[in-house]
Chain A
Amino acid sequence: MLNTFALIHDLKNRLAILDSELEKAQFNLSNPDSAQAHLRKAKLQSAYLTQSLTRGLVLNKSQVNGLRCTPAYEDLSTVLQEAVDAATIFLPDDVLIEESCEPVWHFLDREYVGIALACALDNAARYAVGHIQLSAKVADGGVLFEVSNCYQSRATTASGGTGVGLKVSQAIARAHKANGRQGDASLELLEGRATFRMWLP
């Protein structure tokens, strides 16, 4: 079940940080560079808030009414590009996303898959060392998305998550049902490498 308490706690903390950054920006108006830096941090917190709320809503919907996907024929490279664009704000300076995609179109729910990939990329960004590999390819009559990275705890910089990201991705993947098959998502941690996989029929 959705841990409402943890979610609200996370939102409250982020709001406090956002408020503090806006206050700092206001106090530093005479120093434009400093004000802009604080505004960038405020923007980051605002993006986190939007992301957390969106995930909470999706997870809540999946638990209350069940998620229903509306698949359309989509260009996978566009789907990946939009996911990268959305994730860029959360990336530490020393982490890059490498994207690779077969030139394939597939039926999927663009918005929900975007949210699932955002969850995976956000998680990778918290712990990745070096590059994050994001890929999409045809597999087993469907399409397989992978987000993979070497990891280590970035305790000094990473903020702790509420743990809903994987649940959201799984709910979204499983809501993709076609021709008697159902999607799924998983996270594998093996020898210092984290690999998120999401297969959709």
Chain B
Amino acid sequence: MRIFQNDVLVDTSNYKVLLVEDMAPMRAVIREQLAVLEIGYVSQVVTGHEALASLRRHKFDLVLCDYNLGPGMNGQQLLETAKARGLLPATTLWLMVTAESSRDLVCSAAEISPDDYVVKPFSAKTLQARLSRAIAKREALRAIKQAEAVGQLDKAIELAIGLYREKGPFHMDAAKQLGALFLREHRNLEAETLYKDVLSTRDDLAFAQLGLARALKAKGDIAGAAFVAMRTKEIHPELVGAYDLLAEIYEEQNNIQASLELAKEGVAAVPSAKRQLTLGKIAMAAGELDTAAEAFSKSRIAKTSSNHKTLSDLALHIQTLIRSDSLMQAHTLVEQHLGLFGLDPVFDLVNAALQAVGVHEGVSDGLSRDLVGVKTLENYYNRVAKLAPVGVKLLCLSVTIKIGAIPQAEKIINDMAVNAHADEVSLGLVRSCYAGTAQEPVLEAGLLSAKNAFSKKIQTLMRRMLEQDYGPVLDAADELVKEAPQNASAHVLKTHILLKLLKASAVSDSLLLRVSAYLPDLKAQAQLKPALMKQVTDLTSAVTEARGF
């Protein structure tokens, strides 16, 4: 089959096709239809795992994938996983084959969506039409995607704007691409304007509704975002992205129960590893430990590689294993991740936590007392606490409580309470570590005391800022950041003060030095808390401007 698109001749007879279909008769039928289209190179696999293995080894022009693949991952999960793992080059087309019953789910994948879909049963002619359309779309968007792939985002945005304004066949695809680029570049106002423009043409487009909600959330209009996301969910109940977004919004609003319900619904719709992890985290915060353990366990099953992507995820999983007395499994899990995280100093802390509980349980071959394990853990904790993600700290807390090292547990609780004083999800996760234990009243009192004391300090600082007393409060903000280096509110306040001072008429060299010294720390925290990326961008721009570049 030869197709002319944008003056480019596309000859599909050379196409390499990966056919993912669990039913043998259907595989035979589709293979014959591909033969009618003169496509001869067809690699056939039955499961999502086999598909990922094939995608890792070979480059395909087309993936023809059934949505329902039997037990294991479905077609959408496979697509999301393949994209997340970078196994799909921009030139590879993905056509989802679906039954009438799962059509809505396929169509509702607003964010990571296939290039097109085809409903069973279908003829070779229909398949040809869908393939031609997918090729035409790819060619229309090729320049944008190429610019994006090499990091020329301004150029990609410019091209997408041009294509959108032309109002040609693929202008809505360009709008979808453009909105995603705006959001990625934190150009939230432009994203909002774009999505509103799209919706003024057609108010039933799911991608624009969801995009608008995301843009509103990114610019801080949480109530507006919640309203739009809720409405989107009502209109498109299968749109799993709406559940994810609402769960995020409720999490930010500290409405853990609502967040948990939505996370459960999202997992029920498309149970990806990422969604299972999110569910696990929220379920722990809500005190639903069984749900959390199940979600963490499933998150691993849903992954094609048995490895967790982040130390925080690994630590959360280890925590559930330790709490269910599966210590040997926890050791195995840590060994499996040695190659991946072995060079990260925080991994030593994870190991120390596991060793501490091992010594206590007598699993470790050491003759040491608990004290040795606890001291080692404490030393590692003090060394890397500033860099350790929440999951790792929770593991340490669980371990100290399990082995009865209560003073150390209190220190960790104090550290976590000040670093997450207004984050009810994180505080819920802390509480889940001691809920139901004999030490609960003491530890809860410690948590509240630390959290309230830090809140007061923040409030005092904000009052002084309102009085425009920026110079002196910078020192106070410094103290807060030193006390709680992982507290986003403290960083936001400090950045705000620095921005005000940088915009003053005379900027001293000492201030510039102070900002330059602070920026690497802020960037490191932004790696753990992406919401701080805006502060990094703003402060970098302000300091560049103040230096007169």
Among A57, A69, A73, A78, contact of B101 (Cβ-Cβ < 8 Å): A57
Which residues of A, 124-161, contact B by the 8 Å Cβ criterion? none
Please tell me if B103 contacts chain A, counting CB pairs below 8 Å.
Answer: yes
Q: Give the residues in chain B near A57, CB-CB below 8 Å.
A: 100-101
Complexed CA–CA distance, A178 and B103 (Å): 20
| Chain B 173-203 per-residue mask, 1 if CB under 8 angstroms from chain A, else 0 | 0000000000000000000000000000011
Report whether B171 and A73 are in contact in the complex, using a CB–CB cutoff of 8 Å. yes
Cα of A177 to Cα of B171 in the assembled complex, Å = 21
Q: How distant is B232 from chain A, measured CB to nearest CB, in Å?
A: 12
The answer on a CB contact under 8 Å between A70 and B107 is yes
Give the complex CA separation of A57 and B104 in angstroms: 13
Q: Could you tell me if B104 and A70 are in contact, using CB atoms closer than 8 angstroms?
A: yes
Q: A70-B108, A73-B172, A82-B129 are in contact. Are A111 and B103 (CB under 8 A)?
A: yes
- Distance of B460 from chain A, by nearest CB (Å): 51
Residue B224 lies at the interface, judged by CB distance under 8 Å to chain A: no
In contact, B121 and A82 (Cβ under 8 angstroms): no
**Cβ A179 vs Cβ B100 within 8 A:** no
Partner of A178, one of B104, B129, B202, B237: B202
Which residues of A sit under 8 angstroms from B205, Cβ to Cβ?
71, 107
Q: Give the distance to chain B from A48, nearest Cβ to Cβ, in Å.
A: 13
1/0 per position for A68-81, CB-CB distance to B under 8 A? Answer: 11111101001000
Minimum CB–CB distance for B201 against chain A, Å? 8
A154 to B108, CA, bound (A): 43
Given contacts A50-B121, A57-B100, contact A71 B126 (CB under 8 A): no
> Given the complex of chains A and B, what is the CA–CA distance between A111 and B133 in angstroms?
14
In the bound assembly, the distance between CA atoms of A193 and B348 in angstroms comes to 83
Q: Is the CB of B206 within 8 A of A70?
A: yes
**How far does the Cβ of B24 sit from chain A's closest Cβ, in whole Å?**
20
Instruction: Choose among A68, A70, A78 the residue that contacts B237 (Cβ–Cβ < 8 A).
Output: A68
Closest Cβ of chain B to A159, distance in Å, is 21
Q: Which chain A residues (165-198) contact chain B, with CB distance < 8 Å? A: 177-179
Assembly CA distance A75 to B121 (angstroms): 22
Report the minimal beta-carbon distance from A51 to chain B, rounded to whole angstroms. 10
Q: How far is the CA of A61 from the CA of B100 in the complex (A)?
A: 10
- Residue A105 lies at the interface, judged by CB distance under 8 Å to chain B: yes
Among the listed B100, B169, B202, B204, which residue makes an inter-chain contact with A54, where contact means beta carbons less than 8 Å apart?
Answer: B100
> Is A120 in the interface zone, CB < 8 Å from B?
no
Which residues on the A side are within 8 Å of B171 (C-beta)? 73
A18 at the interface (CB under 8 A from B): no
Query: Which of A61, A105, A107 is close to B202, meaning CB atoms less than 8 Å apart?
Result: A107
A134: min CB distance to chain B, Å? 18
Q: Is the CB of B204 within 8 A of A82?
A: no
Q: Decide yes or no whether B238 CB sits under 8 A from chain A.
A: yes
Contact status of A68 and B236, CB under 8 A, knowing A57-B100, A78-B129, A179-B203: yes
Distance in Å: Cβ of A50 to nearest Cβ of chain B: 6
A75-B100 Cα distance, complex, nearest whole Å: 23
A24–B235 Cα gap in the complex (Å)? Answer: 51
The distance from the CB of A30 to the nearest CB of chain B, in whole angstroms, is 27
A50 nearest CB neighbor, chain B only:
B121
Shortest C-beta distance, A28 to chain B (Å), equals 25
What residues of chain B lie closer than 8 Å to A94, measured between beta carbons?
none
Residues in A whose Cβ lies below 8 Å from that of B238: 68
Q: Are B204 and A75 interface neighbours, CB within 8 A?
A: no
Decide: A75 near B119, CB < 8 A? Known: A57-B101, A68-B236, A68-B237: no
Complex Cα spacing A73 to B202, Å: 11
In the complex, what residues of B have CB within 8 A of residue A73's CB? 169-172
- Which residues from chain B contact A111 at a C-beta distance below 8 Å? 103, 119
A82–B107 Cα distance when bound, in Å, is 20
Confirm or deny: A58 has a beta carbon within 8 angstroms of a beta carbon on chain B: yes
The answer on a CB contact under 8 Å between A179 and B169 is no
| Given known A54-B100, A70-B108, contact A178–B203 (CB-CB < 8 A) | yes
- Minimum C-beta distance from A189 to chain B (A): 31
CA distance A70 to B235 in the complex (A): 11
Q: Does B83 contact A (CB under 8 A)?
A: no
Output the residue of B119, B170, B171, B204 with the most chain A CB within 10 A.
B204
C-alpha spacing A124/B104, complex, angstroms: 29
Asked if A58 meets B100 with Cβ closer than 8 Å, knowing A68-B237, A70-B107, A85-B125, the reply is yes
Given A50-B121, A57-B100, A111-B103, CB of A72 within 8 Å of CB of B202: no
B residues 235-263 near A (Cβ < 8 Å) are 235-238
B204: chain A residues at CB < 8 Å are 69, 71, 107, 177-178
- Residue on A with the closest CB to B204? A178
Cross-chain contact A75 with B169 (CB below 8 angstroms): yes
Q: Which of B108, B126, B202, B203 has the most CB of A within 10 A?
A: B202
| Complex Cα–Cα for A167 and B24 (A) | 36
Complex Cα–Cα for A78 and B128 (A): 13
- With A50-B121, A70-B206, A72-B172 known to touch, is A82 a contact of B126 (CB < 8 Å)? yes
Q: In the assembled complex, how far is the CB of residue A37 from the closest CB belonging to chain B, in whole angstroms? A: 21
Contacts of A178 in B (CB 8 A): 202-204
Cα of A146 to Cα of B74 in the assembled complex, Å: 39
Q: Which residues of A contact B129 (CB under 8 A)?
A: 78, 82
* Alpha-carbon distance A85/B206, docked complex (angstroms): 30
The minimal Cβ–Cβ distance linking B102 to chain A, given in whole angstroms, is: 12
Bound-state Cα–Cα, A85 to B236, Å = 31
Bound complex: CA A72 to CA B108 (Å)? 12
- How far does the Cβ of B398 sit from chain A's closest Cβ, in whole Å? 43
CA distance A178 to B206 in the complex (A): 12
Residue of A nearest to B108 (CB): A70
Per-residue contact bits, chain A 33-62, to B (CB 8 Å; 1 contact, 0 not)? 000000000000000001000100110010
Contacts of A85 in B (CB 8 A): 125
Minimum CB–CB distance from A179 to chain B (whole Å) comes to: 5
Chain B 117-129 interface 0/1 with A at a Cβ cutoff of 8 Å (1 = within): 0010100011001
Q: Which residue of A lies closest to B125 (CB)?
A: A85
Q: Which residue of A lies closest to B203 (CB)?
A: A179
- Determine the chain B residues whose CB is within 8 A of the CB of A179 once the complex forms: 202-203
Distance to closest chain B CB from A61 (angstroms): 8
CB distance from B401 to the nearest CB of A (A): 47
Closest to A53 in B: B100
User: Least Cβ distance of A133 to chain B in Å?
Assistant: 23
Cβ-defined contact, B169 with A105, below 8 A: yes
Known contacts A72-B172, A73-B169, then 12 further A-B pairs from the complex at CB < 8 Å, ordered by chain A residue: A54-B100, A57-B100, A57-B101, A58-B100, A70-B107, A70-B108, A73-B170, A85-B125, A111-B119, A178-B202, A178-B204, A179-B202
| 11 residue pairs bridging A and B, Cβ less than 8 Å apart | A57-B101, A68-B104, A68-B235, A70-B206, A71-B204, A72-B172, A73-B171, A85-B125, A111-B119, A177-B204, A178-B204
Q: 4 closest A-B pairs (Cβ-Cβ)?
A: A70-B107, A178-B204, A57-B100, A73-B172
